[in-house]
Amino acid sequence: MTETAQPLARYSAYARRGDFVFLSGIIAVDPGAGKVIRGYEDLPAGVADRIGRTGEFSVDAKDGPIIAQSWYVLDRVRATIEDAGGTMGDVFKLVQYFRNLDHFPRYNIVRRMFFPDTPPVSTVVEVSAMMPSPDILIEVEATAWIKP
Range scoring the smallest mean pLDDT among 12-16, 52-56, 92-96: 12-16
Tell me the average pLDDT across 26-31: 90
d(CA 65, CA 98): 13
pTM of the model: 0.92
Q: What is the pLDDT of residues 52-90, one digit of tens each?
A: 999 999 999 999 999 999 999 999 999 999 999 999 999
Q: What share of the chain is helix, strand, coil (3-state, %, to 5)?
A: 35, 25, 40
Helices 104-114 and 57-83, packing angle to 10 deg: 40
Domains located in the chain, CATH noted: 14-145 (3.30.1330.40)
pLDDT-derived band at 31 (thresholds 50, 70, 90) equals confident
